[in-house]
Structure 1
Amino acid sequence: MKKLGLTLFSILIVLVLAACGASEAGDNAGREEGSAKEPLKVTLPTWTGYGPLFLAQEKGFFEKHGIEVELSIIEGLAERKQALAGGQVDGMATALDVQVTMAAADVPMEVVWLLDDSYGGDGITVKNNIHSVEDLKGKQVAFEQGSTSHLLLLTALEEAGLTDQDVEMVQMSAGDAGAAFVAGQVDAAVTWEPWLSKASEADGKILVSTKDLPGIIVDTVGFRKSVVEERPEDIQAFVNAMADAMDYWKENEEESNQIMAEGLNIDVEEFTATVTGLKFMDAQANKNLFGTSKQQGDIYSSAQNASDFYLEQGLIEIAPSADEVLNSTFVEGL
């Protein structure tokens, strides 16, 4: 009986130890699974300037620096803003002035990387019978309210002594505006490439572009402030990967163009044609424009100008400072 009792006791001990071991293994597995990094989720519209994001992803530069990045294309600005405000995405590739409006709308954003400066890549297409910005008075102009296109139009109108109240606004995204112009549905459109080049197909022309108004549209990548504060190492890794992607592009232009065009789901010929309208920024250009925390670069003036301009136009109620929107820490950390 003693032997039988001892045997039963031994079996119980083994079972208990096995259960404890299984429980510990399960806990460890759970911890390992829970500790896996969430991907950084970045949204963007279809635009040549955002191609380097796909290059960094495809060539493994994000992975090299220890992060996963999820890229999603959402064409409408309002929808992208909703995704950010709702926490569905962590960051957005968009123009600097849009990042300013996000901050003004109580969705704090911090720009950590500068992609490009538009130099002819954005503009206003018009019918051939429109010869000046003053001629836009009373005409139908398609553009997206509150967007970079709006800023470009307002700037051009202001120089001509007009406001957006002097034109008949047709609300639509930049891509749809370009398509509407080519289809002959509006008198003018504030859009970007390839629609600018297609203006001649609709008996039209480019009236004003960012060649005439340089420095207004700077494409950036920004993240919600909470994400930057909670995941600084991942944001640094993101910036490091973008710097690598720009270097790779310089050395492998043809391959890189193909990768970026495929990522954006556009023809490589279309991609390369629109590249000429942009001045892309590598690590050194970012460092020059960001400057340092002690000596801020020119991008801070651009951000403040956009903030002040939107406030003056009544499009925002509070003008965020450039320091609220820009974070040079990660470019400094390259």
Structure 2
Amino acid sequence: MKKWMHVLLSATLLLGVTACGGGGNEDSSAASNGSQQEQQTKEPLKVTLPTWTGYGPLFIAKEKGFFEKHGVDVELSIIEGLAERKQALAGGKLDGMATALDVQTTLASSGVPMEVVWILDDSYGGDGILVKNDINSAADLKGKQVAFEFGSTSHLLLLSALKQAGLTDKDVEMVQMSAGDAGAAFTAGKVDAAVTWEPWLSKGANANGKVLLTTKDLPGIIVDTVGFRKEIVDQRPDEIKAFVAAMADAMNYWKENEQDAVSIMAKGLNIDEKEFTGTASGLKFFNLDENKKSFGTADNKGPIYQSTQNDIDFYLEQKIIDSAPSAEEIINPTFVQGL
């Protein structure tokens, strides 16, 4: 049964200037109170994500007060379905999304301009394809039922695997499901294969199945990022700058306080700590220095631009998108470079 989890985490940010004690005049007191009211009623940055280990650092920034420290209120929500997240973004109900880089490109091409401002991780074994035991290669998927989310990172991974075998997704029986539901369906024996992530890869492998391949076999395909709608970046640059600074602090905190950080992230994602640590081993997380290297500079662009272009080219080739935004339209290095 499909399960949608909507977990809303919000906090009130207090940025008001404290009124001076005796001796202050009424005009300055009124101005101070007006400033407080304006700041307290400012809309938070609304950021959504699915349940995935790679997005855990967002909860460190929230729980440890790093967003508040840098002067931004951030509201996190978990929405499992990609279609639902895209719809909310397109409708202006959300400001940003933690998602794979290729999803940011499909959003941009569908009329929802996004700008990536932070890189969370690169999948290295955390995503993969579950299959029944009689399937031994991607070529064996021909004619089989494969569950995955259309137009998502899972779709990209499947297409990449099939392409190496001389096939396309038209050669398999496609079953539309979110990554988590695909893993659950495979574990229940309802489909022949599923493109999903941990912990479903391990669960499926223990349920009379096996992992055909993972992002260890196809590295560099899945990069998790945080992006915001372009209009939000244009209208609220100071808050985006604060958001990025808070993420840098979150990664430093994780390095220095591993157990507490893991506990915070697991709780935020509503998974147990063992599950979190087990899946985190399949990811390479990016701190500020690694973000700077990946974004590069204006004169020397980093590898994130090529990864973005690869996603654009691939989706165009597969006719999943009709128009091609440029990598430069999607990647915004300004905020990382400014730290």
The residue identity in structure 2 corresponding to 1:34 is E
Name which one, 1 or 2, has greater alpha-carbon Rg. 1
In the other structure, the counterpart of 2:86 is 81
Aligned length: 314
The answer as to 2:265 corresponding to 1:260 is yes
Decide whether aligned partners of structure 1 residues 59 and 136 sit closer, same or farther in structure 2, where only a CA change above 3 A counts: same
Decide whether aligned partners of structure 1 residues 128 and 67 sit closer, same or farther in structure 2, where only a CA change above 3 A counts: same
Q: 1:317, 1:82 → 2: CA distance?
A: 18
Q: 1:304, 1:257 → 2: CA distance?
A: 33
Q: Give, in angstroms, the shift of residue 33 of structure 1.
A: 2.5
In the other structure, the counterpart of 2:233 is 228
Q: 1:27, 1:251 → 2: CA distance?
A: 41
TM-score by length of structure 1 reads 0.91
- Aligned to 1:284, which of 281, 286, 289? 289
In the other structure, the counterpart of 1:126 is 131
- Aligned to 1:142, which of 143, 147, 150? 147
In the other structure, the counterpart of 2:162 is 157
SS in 2 for 1:202: coil
Q: Give, in angstroms, the shift of residue 294 of structure 1.
A: 1.8
Q: 2:158, 2:205 → 1: CA distance?
A: 20
Q: Give, in angstroms, the shift of residue 92 of structure 1.
A: 0.1
Q: Give, in angstroms, the shift of residue 30 of structure 1.
A: 6.2
Q: Give, in angstroms, the shift of residue 215 of structure 1.
A: 0.3
Q: 2:181, 2:243 → 1: CA distance?
A: 31
Q: 1:254, 1:218 → 2: CA distance?
A: 25
Gaps of 5+ in 1: 1-21
The answer as to 2:41 corresponding to 1:34 is no
The answer as to 2:162 corresponding to 1:168 is no
In the other structure, the counterpart of 1:301 is 306
In the other structure, the counterpart of 2:12 is none
Is contact 2:145-2:172 (8 Å) kept?
yes
Alignment of 1:1-334 (within 5 A): 32-36=36-40, 37-334=42-339
Q: 1:130, 1:172 → 2: CA distance?
A: 21
Q: Deviations over 1:124-177 (max 9, x none)?
A: 000010000000000000000000000000010001100000000010000000
Q: Give, in angstroms, the shift of residue 28 of structure 1.
A: 8.2
TM-score by length of structure 2 reads 0.90
Q: Give, in angstroms, the shift of residue 295 of structure 1.
A: 1.2
Counting aligned pairs with the same residue, the percent is 72
Q: Give, in angstroms, the shift of residue 199 of structure 1.
A: 1.9
- Runs of 4+ that moved beyond 3 A: 25-32
The residue identity in structure 1 corresponding to 2:184 is A
Q: 1:249, 1:223 → 2: CA distance?
A: 24
Q: Which has the higher helix share?
A: 1
Is contact 2:130-2:205 (8 Å) kept?
no
Q: Give, in angstroms, the shift of residue 34 of structure 1.
A: 3.5
